[in-house]
């Protein structure tokens, strides 16, 4: 809370220094009328002063906070009785967590050792001290920088260049976030996955055919229990994605062809947005629809035909997922079809081809690479789709190709393994990250191939 | 050459072609018709899905906006409420209001005497009835000793009967409401004491284990807080990144790498962002679980690529002449962008941002990963409070076994869809009204 008030104070100071800097730049040349003698517009002098006031102080505050917290924890923990220093890493973490929870006013879990309680008190005291000191230092840095910047204002100071340099730096930093995210995903998922592969060999994970992580919850059983063979999950994911694509590709492609080649403008303007409505519906709604309507419907049909259909059949999840992907396929296919030059069609018509022959023999082959790319993107989406399968597909891993049975998928397992509190060191929890890693790389490869095909294709007719 | 003379009337090449074409025409036109029909069938199927989806949700969910209330003559007996005669609010709050409610029910159905039947009778009302009475008495102690007509929340099963979701035609063993209870409900209905009113509770309550008391306010506020974080972070960062890539960056391997990255991130499954959030924000930085701030951060990373791509497209649409004119007037590159290009590209950028926000509002998978699935009855008030969001609330309710939650779930979905529709409509208005075609 105190940090917040320091930040607000610094921002207030910064606004004030903007005003002062601007005023000084005008005063220095003797009024607004002779502002042309300045290198930059007066506002730039103000902004530069304001930036000097805020940026160094805020950076310092952030560093102070991070380093301070770390240091305080070290100091506090070193006061704990001797066994802390000799304890294992896991026990240390437990003790640290306990101290922090007590210090943040959390309820004690069971008996608390007196030295832990004392450490929490100490933490509170040192934390308050560090915050006060940090706040004072930041405020004085802010004042010093602002006054130095203010006193350096002169007609020859290149204020605009300075401000623009900061702006450009900020822009570059923002564009780096995309890379940081990717790196963050890879590092964090890879790190936990590698910890998992320490416990379970990677080949057992990738090639094993039995999956039952629930057995491994007890900590004393780590090496010996739980089966982490992910093949049934990959098979289940593939089965559901296949069903989804069997629904989405024909419907999406054919409706795109009809709407872009046959339908007149009125039909197109009504039907296209309606179909795209499907793309805007949250996946949780599709999941609910699958559970509430499609599942029971398939079951009823199965009963009428004398076939046993599981309540959480792969078919129900796949069908609904297919519906979800229809607009995705159709809008991509639509883009690809309209990119085919009219000349190709006219050439075919001139040779006497009917419209459908033109489409099948000329337009589709010309647009095929793009459409394949779009379908690959749709596959990657089907593989990574979570809510529909979490709600409508099963939990038990079964290696089957029968769409009427319940199968489970990679995403379902990730959710069921990580929802709810469980310790972060068990292979059960870590296996979710291994699955996430597989999922990330599978979709990454699909995306890279697909995007490359789409890009090359869309440049072809330019 | 000479052979041709021996042959019977021989067709020329052209005639042969014509004959073959004429013979195949029928087949080809049939194929044409067939192909066209496939297209019509596909479009019809797609539209059918839309209609079925929406009509299912609406028909199941429209009932959630109504709720049955039982009007009873409640006698606030002093013996139950203030047995020791103290009338301070704290003492009044201690009174036995359950007894008051039970007495009111027994009073109306005086024929019920058996223990089991009495318990069933008390089950007609939601267990929030006594809190309602308590609040009334604490606010106005003069009610003690008087009798007043109060509309009390009916239980979820009564509500389902009133709405016709439970029918007396099914065998008694297969339904949750017995014939005896049906009798009481019918009697109350005949006296107009059992009525459906607009379900304000749906919008003013947090989550609850009791379907009739469960509302979406907590989830709605959670969604707003999460989205607030997302907007505040992803819009400035996304626009800044797009401006850099489109206006300043020189095309080289480094910027190509950023671009490939952004395109890939746009297609990474959302659940992977959840894993990232769990590992980085919660494990590494120690931010609180289930908090809107973490949810907002995760959704920011997820929507950033969408916003960057949309913003770049909007920037690209601004004609180069604008930039050259600005340079010609002596503007610096930064001034050219901030004074001229950005304002012109703003409608397009905002359209993309709103669509990205709509996606973030409907997203639930990554939020499951960071613990926003806990049962939380309180309405969150700060960014670090435990919270859930509307789509996750829908998921939670849909996995409940109680029949009455099906209706609530559909009702919550309707609310969510209305919000999404409004956001998309806003984006469309922005696009149509402000976007310039050059």
Cβ distance of A288 and B332 shorter than 8 Å? no
Question: Residue B138 is inside which H or E element, if any?
Answer: helix B129-139
pLDDT at B61: 87
Q: What is the β-pairing status of strands A227-228 and B66-75?
A: unpaired
User: Are residues A287 and A401 both part of a single domain?
Assistant: yes
Residue at A269 is within a domain = yes
| Calpha distance B308→A221 (Å, rounded) | 48
User: In the A/B pair of chains, how many CB contacts fall below 8 A?
Assistant: 261
A273 touches chain B (CB under 8 A): no
* Cβ-defined contact of B46 to A278 (cutoff 8 Å): yes
Quick one: B268 exposed, middle or buried, by C-beta within 10 A (0-12, 13-18, 19+)?
A: buried
CB A425 within 8 A of CB A182: no
Q: In this predicted model, what pLDDT tens digit does every residue of A181-236 receive, in sequence order?
A: 889 999 989 998 998 898 888 888 888 888 887 644 455 544 445 688 889 999 99
Distance CA A415, CA A418 (A): 5
- In angstroms, the CA B311 to CA B129 distance is 53
Q: Which of B177, B50, B67, B49 is nearest to B407 (CA)?
A: B67
Q: Which of residues 398-417 of B touch A (CB under 8 A)?
A: 398-399, 406, 409-410, 413, 416-417
With tokens 């080649």, the residue in question is A261
A232 shares a domain with A153: no
From CA A333, how far away is CA A339, in angstroms rounded? 10
Does residue A444 sit at the B interface (CB-CB below 8 Å)?
yes
Q: Where are the alpha helices (DSSP H) in B270-341?
A: 270-276, 292-317, 320-328, 333-335
Q: State whether residue A156 is helix, strand or coil.
A: coil
Q: What is the CATH number of the domain that holds A252?
A: 1.10.3720.10
Q: With a CB-CB cutoff of 8 Å, which residues 64-93 of chain A face chain B?
A: none
Same domain for A12 and A153, yes or no, is yes
A167 within domain boundaries = no
Which token pair is A135?
């706040």
Domain contains A197: no
Cβ pair B241:A391 closer than 8 A? no
Q: Which residues of chain A have pLDDT under 70?
A: 1-2, 81-90, 105-111, 214-226, 420-425, 459, 462
pLDDT the model gives residue A87: 67
Q: Where is A227: in which H helix or E strand?
A: strand A227-228
Looking at the domain assignment, is residue A149 inside a domain?
yes
Positive or negative, the CA dihedral B328, B329, B330, B331 is negative
User: Are residues B368 and A167, on separate chains, in Cβ contact within 8 Å?
Assistant: no
C-beta separation of A398 from A407 below 8 A: yes
**In the structure encoding, which two tokens stand for residue A384, read together?**
């990574």
Q: What is the DSSP letter of A29?
A: T
Please indicate if any CB of chain A lies within 8 Å of the CB of B45.
yes
A112 CB burial (10 A radius; 0-12, 13-18, 19+)? middle
pLDDT of residue A420: 65
Strand partners of residue B67? B197
Predicted local distance difference test score (pLDDT) of residue A400: 83
Confidence at residue B431, expressed as pLDDT on a 0 to 100 scale: 83
User: In the sheet that B194-198 helps form, which strands lie side by side, from edge to edge?
Assistant: B147-153, B66-75, B194-198
Give phi and psi for A153, each to the nearest 5.
-60, 125
Segment 407-426 of chain A within 8 Å of chain B by CB: 411, 414-415, 418-419, 424
> A341 and A438 share a domain?
yes
**CA-based nearest residue to B426, from B343, B329, B311, B347:** B347
Residue with tokens 């296209």: A272
- Does any CB of chain A come closer than 8 Å to the CB of residue B245? yes
Structure tokens at B144: 């003690």
Contact A288, B394 (CB under 8 A): yes
Question: What are φ and ψ of residue B96, in 5° steps?
Answer: -90, 85
Segment 378-397 of chain B within 8 Å of chain A by CB:
391-392, 394-395
Q: How far apart are CA B149 and CA A14, in angstroms?
A: 62
Instruction: State both tokens at A52.
Output: 């000097």
Do the domain assignments include residue A187? no
Chain A residues touching residue B284 (CB < 8 angstroms): 188
Question: In whole angstroms, how far apart are CA B377 and each of A80, B5, B228?
Answer: 39, 100, 21
* End-of-domain residue from the set A101, A126, A157: A157
Task: Please tell me the distance from the alpha carbon of residue A318 to that of residue A407, in angstroms, as a whole number.
Answer: 11
Considering only the beta carbons, identify the residue of B28, B258, B263 that sits closest to A354. B28
**Domain boundary pick from A157, A172, A192:** A157
pLDDT of residue A224: 46
Residue A390 belongs to some domain of the structure: yes
Contact A6, A65 (CB under 8 A): no
Picking from B314, B315, B317, B301, the residue whose alpha carbon sits closest to that of residue B356 is B301
pLDDT in tens, A117-157: 788 888 888 888 888 998 999 999 999 999 999 999 988 88
Q: What is the largest CA-CA distance in chain A?
A: 96
Residue whose structure tokens are 């947090």 = B206
Q: Helix, strand, coil shares of chain B as percentages rounded to 5? A: 70, 5, 25
- The DSSP output letter for A108 is P
Residue pair B215/B207 in contact by the 8 Å Cβ criterion: yes
Alpha carbon separation from B297 to A237, B225, B387 (Å, rounded): 28, 11, 14
- Kindly state whether residues A122 and A261 are assigned to the same domain: no
Q: How far is A62 from chain B (nearest CA, A)?
A: 14
Estimate the crossing angle of helix A410-418 against helix A231-257, to 10 degrees.
120
3-class state of residue B267 by DSSP: helix
Query: A331: domain range?
Result: 227-460
B219: contact with A, CB 8 A cutoff:
no
* Integer Cα distance of B66 and B266 in angstroms: 41
Give the gyration radius of chain B's Cα atoms. Answer: 33
pLDDT in tens, chain B (438 residues): 445 444 456 778 888 888 888 888 999 999 999 999 999 999 999 999 999 999 999 998 888 898 888 888 888 887 787 777 777 777 777 878 888 888 888 888 888 878 888 888 888 888 888 888 888 888 888 888 888 888 888 888 888 888 888 888 888 777 878 888 888 888 888 888 888 888 888 898 888 888 888 889 999 999 999 999 999 999 999 999 999 999 998 888 888 888 888 988 888 999 999 999 998 998 888 788 889 999 999 999 999 999 999 999 999 999 999 999 999 999 999 999 999 999 999 999 999 999 999 999 999 999 998 888 888 888 888 888 889 999 999 999 998 878 888 889 999 999 999 999 999 999 888 888 887 777
Cβ-based neighbour number of residue B65 at 10 Å: 16
Establish if A164 belongs to a structural domain. Answer: no
Spatial distance between the Cα atoms of A349 and A328, rounded to a whole number of angstroms: 30
Q: Say which residues have a Cβ less than 8 Å from residue B69's Cβ, sequence separation at least 6.
A: B151, B152, B153, B154, B194, B195, B196, B197
How many Cα atoms occupy the beta-carbon half-sphere of A364 within 13 Å?
12
* Domain assignment present for A219: no
Q: CA-CA distances (angstroms) from residue A16 to A6, A146, A151, A152, A263?
A: 15, 10, 15, 17, 63
Dist. CA A377–CA A379, nearest whole Å: 5
Q: Which two tokens stand for residue A326?
A: 């229809």
Q: What is the DSSP letter of B268?
A: S
Please state, in angstroms and rounded to a whole number, the distance separating the CA atoms of residues B218 and B387: 7
Q: Are residues A129 and A240 in the same domain?
A: no
**Sequence-separated (6 or more) residues with CB below 8 Å from residue B420:** A280, A281, A282, B358, B361, B362
In angstroms, rounded to a whole number, what is the distance separating the alpha carbons of residues A319 and B130?
A: 47
Give the chain A residue whose CA is nearest to the CA of B399: A391
Same domain, A138 and A252: no
When divided into structural domains, chain A yields a total of: 2
The pTM for the full model equals 0.87
Q: How far apart are CA B60 and CA B66, in angstroms?
A: 12
Chain B positions in Cβ-Cβ contact with residue A277 (cut-off 8 Å): 50
**How many C-alpha atoms does B145 have within 13 Å on its Cβ side?**
5
Last residue of a domain, one of A127, A157, A187: A157
Q: Are residues A288 and A422 in the same domain?
A: yes
Which residue has tokens 């709720």? B67
What pLDDT score does B1 carry? 46
What is the C-alpha to C-alpha distance for residues A331 and A312, in angstroms, rounded to an integer? 30
Same domain, A131 and A245: no
Within 8 A of B309 by CB-CB distance, chain A residues are none
CB contact under 8 A, A178 and B304: yes
CA distance A199 to A222: 8
**Residue B9, phi then psi, degrees to nearest 5:** -35, 110
Q: Residue A167's pLDDT is what? A: 93
In whole angstroms, give the CA distance from residue B354 to residue B360.
10
Note the ipTM here.
Answer: 0.89
Least CB–CB distance from A414: residue in B240, B248, B271: B271
Looking at residue A223, its pLDDT comes to: 46
Closest CB to B262 among A178, A414, A424: A178
- Residue in chain B nearest A351 by alpha carbon: B21
């Amino acid at each position: 809370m105190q940090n917040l008030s320091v930040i607000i104070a610094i921002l207030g100071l910064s606004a004030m220094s903007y005003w002062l800097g601007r005023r000084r730049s005008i005063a220095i040349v003797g009024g607004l009328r002779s502002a042309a003698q300045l290198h930059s517009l007066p506002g730039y002098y103000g902004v530069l002063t304001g930036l000097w006031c805020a940026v160094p102080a805020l950076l310092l505050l952030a560093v102070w906070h991070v380093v301070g917290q770390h240091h305080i924890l070290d100091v506090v923990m070193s006061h704990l009785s001797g066994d802390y220093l000799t304890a294992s890493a896991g026990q240390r973490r437990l003790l640290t967590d306990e101290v922090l929870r007590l210090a943040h006013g959390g309820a004690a879990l069971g008996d608390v050792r007196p030295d832990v309680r004392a450490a929490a008190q100490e933490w509170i005291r040192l934390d308050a001290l560090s915050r006060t000191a940090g706040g004072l230092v930041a405020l004085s840095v802010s004042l010093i920088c602002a006054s130095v910047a203010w006193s350096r204002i002169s007609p020859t100071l290149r204020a605009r260049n300075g401000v623009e340099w900061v702006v450009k730096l900020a822009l570059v930093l923002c564009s780096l976030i995309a890379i940081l995210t990717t790196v963050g995903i890879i590092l964090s998922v890879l790190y936990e996955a590698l910890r998992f592969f320490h416990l379970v060999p990677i080949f057992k994970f990738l090639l094993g055919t039995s999956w039952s992580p629930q057995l491994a919850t007890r900590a004393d059983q780590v090496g010996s229990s739980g089966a982490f063979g992910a093949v049934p999950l990959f098979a289940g994911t593939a089965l559901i994605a296949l069903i989804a694509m069997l629904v989405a590709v024909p419907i999406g492609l054919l409706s795109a062809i009809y709407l872009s080649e046959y339908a007149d403008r009125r039909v197109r303007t009504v039907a296209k947005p309606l179909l795209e409505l499907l793309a805007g519906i949250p996946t949780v709604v599709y999941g609910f629809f699958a559970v509430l309507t499609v599942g029971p419907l398939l079951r009823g049909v199965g009963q009428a035909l004398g076939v046993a259909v599981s309540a959480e059949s792969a078919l129900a999840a796949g069908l609904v997922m297919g519906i979800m992907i229809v607009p995705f396929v159709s809008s991509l296919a639509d883009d690809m079809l309209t990119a085919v030059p009219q000349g190709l069609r006219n050439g075919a018509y001139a040779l006497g081809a009917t419209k459908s022959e033109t489409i099948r023999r000329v337009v589709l082959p010309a647009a095929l690479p793009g459409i394949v790319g779009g379908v690959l993107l749709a596959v990657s989406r089907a593989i990574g789709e979570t809510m529909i399968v979490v709600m409508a597909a099963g939990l038990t891993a079964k290696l089957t190709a029968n769409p009427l049975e319940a199968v489970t998928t990679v995403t379902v397992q990730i959710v069921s393994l990580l929802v709810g509190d469980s310790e972060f060191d068990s292979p059960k929890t870590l296996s979710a990250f291994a699955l996430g890693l597989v999922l990330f790389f599978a979709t990454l490869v699909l995306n890279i191939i697909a995007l490359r095909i789409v890009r090359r294709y869309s440049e072809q007719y330019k | 050459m000479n052979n041709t003379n021996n042959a019977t009337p021989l067709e020329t090449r052209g005639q042969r072609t014509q004959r073959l074409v004429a013979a195949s025409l029928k087949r080809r036109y049939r194929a044409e018709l067939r192909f066209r029909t496939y297209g019509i069938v596909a479009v019809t199927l797609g539209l059918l899905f839309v209609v079925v989806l929406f009509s299912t949700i609406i028909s199941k969910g429209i009932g959630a906006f109504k709720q049955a209330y039982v009007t009873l003559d409640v006698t606030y007996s002093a013996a139950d409420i203030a047995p020791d005669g103290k009338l301070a609010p704290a003492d009044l709050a201690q009174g036995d209001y359950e007894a008051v409610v039970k007495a009111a029910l027994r009073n109306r159905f005086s024929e019920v005497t058996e223990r089991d039947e009495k318990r069933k009778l008390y089950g007609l009302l939601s267990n929030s009835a006594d809190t309602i009475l308590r609040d009334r008495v604490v606010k106005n102690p003069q009610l003690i000793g008087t009798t007043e007509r109060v509309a009390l929340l009916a239980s979820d099963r009564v509500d389902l009967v009133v709405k016709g979701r439970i029918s007396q035609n099914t065998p008694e063993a297969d339904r949750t409401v017995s014939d005896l209870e049906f009798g009481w409900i019918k009697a109350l209905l005949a006296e107009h004491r059992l009525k459906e009113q607009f379900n304000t509770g749906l919008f003013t309550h947090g989550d609850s284990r009791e379907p009739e008391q469960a509302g979406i306010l907590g989830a709605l506020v959670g969604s707003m807080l999460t989205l607030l974080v997302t907007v505040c972070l992803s819009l400035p960062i996304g626009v800044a990144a797009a401006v850099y890539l489109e206006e300043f960056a020189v095309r080289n391997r480094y910027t190509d790498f950023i671009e490939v990255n952004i395109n890939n991130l746009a297609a990474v499954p959302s659940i992977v962002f959840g894993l990232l959030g769990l590992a980085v924000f919660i494990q590494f930085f120690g931010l609180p679980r289930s908090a809107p701030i973490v949810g907002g951060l995760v959704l920011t990373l997820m929507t950033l690529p969408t916003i960057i791509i949309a913003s770049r497209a909007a920037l690209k649409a601004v004609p180069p002449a604008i930039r050259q004119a600005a340079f010609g007037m002596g503007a610096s590159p930064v001034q050219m962008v901030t004074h001229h290009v950005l304002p012109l590209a703003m409608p397009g950028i905002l359209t993309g941002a709103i669509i990205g926000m709509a996606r973030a509002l409907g997203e639930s998978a990554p939020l499951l990963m960071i613990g926003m699935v806990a049962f939380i009855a309180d309405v969150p008030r700060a960014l670090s409070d435990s919270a859930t969001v509307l789509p996750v609330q829908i998921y939670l309710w849909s996995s409940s076994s109680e029949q009455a939650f099906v209706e609530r779930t559909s009702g919550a979905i309707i609310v969510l869809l209305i919000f999404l529709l409004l956001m998309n409509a806003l984006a469309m208005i922005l696009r149509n009204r402000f976007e310039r075609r050059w």
